[in-house]
Amino acid sequence: MTNRIGTARWIALLAPALLLGGALASQRWGGLFPCEMCYWQRWPHMAAIALALLAILARKTALGGLLLFLAALAIFVSGAIGIFHAGVEYGWWEGLTTCSTALGSAGDGDDMLARIMAAPIIRCDVPQWTLGGISLAGFNALFSIGAALAVWILMRKGRRA
pTM above 0.85, yes or no: no
Confidence of residue 161 (pLDDT cuts 50, 70, 90): low
Which pLDDT value is given to residue 126?
A: 84
> Is-contact 35 81, C-beta < 8 A?
no
Q: How many residues does the chain have?
A: 161
Q: Which of 54-58, 94-98, 103-107 has the lowest mean pLDDT?
A: 103-107
50 part of a folded domain: yes
Note the pLDDT of residue 33: 87
**What's the chain's Rg over C-alpha atoms?**
18
Average pLDDT over residues 153-157: 95
The answer as to whether 46 is a domain residue is: yes
Asked if residue 108 is part of any domain, the answer here is no
What DSSP assignment string belongs to 3-14? HHHHHHHHHHHH
Q: Do residues 144 and 75 lie in contact, with contact meaning Cβ atoms separated by under 8 Å?
A: yes
The pLDDT value recorded for residue 107 is: 62
**Could you read off the pLDDT of 128-150 as tens digits, one per residue?**
888 999 999 999 999 999 999 99
As a whole number, mean pLDDT of residues 29-35 equals 89
Average pLDDT over residues 7-29: 96
Is residue 138 a part of any domain in this protein? yes
Asked whether residue 61 is domain-assigned, the answer is yes
Strand stretches in the chain, DSSP E: 130-131, 134-135
**% the chain with pLDDT above 90:** 65
Confidence band of 70 (pLDDT split at 50, 70, 90): very high
Segment (H or E) for 40: helix 36-57
116 lies in a domain? no
Instruction: Write down the pLDDT at residue 113.
Output: 74
Do the domain assignments include residue 113?
no
Residue 122's pLDDT is what?
A: 77
Q: Which domain holds residue 67?
A: 2-98+125-160
pLDDT score of 118: 67
Round the average pLDDT of the chain to a whole number and report it: 88
Number of structural domains found in the chain: 1
Q: Is residue 21 part of a domain?
A: yes
Q: Note the pLDDT of residue 100.
A: 46
